[in-house]
Amino acid sequence: MPQPVERKEISLWVPLIGGVLFFLLGWALLFESISRLSDAQDSSGWPTTTGTVLESDIHDSVWLQRKKAAEPHYQPTVEYVYTVDGTEYKNDRVSFTEHSGSTERSWAEDIVTRFPAGAEVTVYYKPGDPSAAVLDPGVDQDNYIVLIIAIGTILAGAAAAVLGWVMR
């Protein structure tokens, strides 16, 4: 008759399994951030075309946080169309700096002011994949934050996995 697994044995596997999962997640995040950073660096030299801003708006919401008062949250949305080699594309990427918004309304206002609805804009599109485009090319310091988080996740995952392996 099989013996029941003790709770202590199961809990010793948690750091190992959790560490391996974090390690793998960190690598996936690292590959994605390197790809995005590469595109950001290259985007200043991408071909350009003229586009038209269809929508430029600020979406506000409220973020509820534990032990803190609710904070307003502002997300700019800029949607534009452009044509490359006779094919029309629609995009909403302003830059390679990924923001989920800000608690500073002035940040969102700055973006929608720079790219108002109806305005003609310069669109930088990726050679070989014109559906990938951006209005504000180049690298920003925020591009490195995801890279740093990915490396931290890999290191934390590796440390937890090693600890789990030693403890088992």
Nearest to 99, CA basis, from 142, 35, 132: 142
The band of 129, judged by pLDDT with boundaries at 50, 70 and 90, is very high
pLDDT at 75 over 90: no
Average pLDDT of span 50-77: 81
pLDDT at 167 over 80: no
pLDDT of residue 4: 61
pLDDT at 14 over 90: no
pLDDT of residue 64: 59
The Cα–Cα gap between 153 and 23 comes to 6
Mean pLDDT, the chain, whole residue set:
86
pLDDT at 113 over 80: yes
56 is written with which tokens? 């430029």
pLDDT at 7 over 70: no
Question: Can you say whether residue 65 is alpha, beta or left, with left for phi > 0 and alpha for psi between -120 and 50 degrees?
Answer: beta
Residue by residue, DSSP assigns 10-40 as HHHHHHHHHHHHHHHHHHHHHHHHHHHHHHH
DSSP code at position 3: P
Span 86-111, pLDDT tens digits: 999 999 999 987 666 777 888 889 99
The Cα–Cα gap between 27 and 87 comes to 36
The band of 53, judged by pLDDT with boundaries at 50, 70 and 90, is very high
The band of 150, judged by pLDDT with boundaries at 50, 70 and 90, is very high
The residue type of 96 is: F
pLDDT above 90 covers what percent of the chain?
Answer: 51
- For 153, other C-beta atoms within 10 Å of its C-beta total 19
pLDDT of residue 122: 98
The Cα–Cα gap between 80 and 93 comes to 9
- For 149, other C-beta atoms within 10 Å of its C-beta total 14
pLDDT of residue 99: 65
pLDDT of residue 69: 67
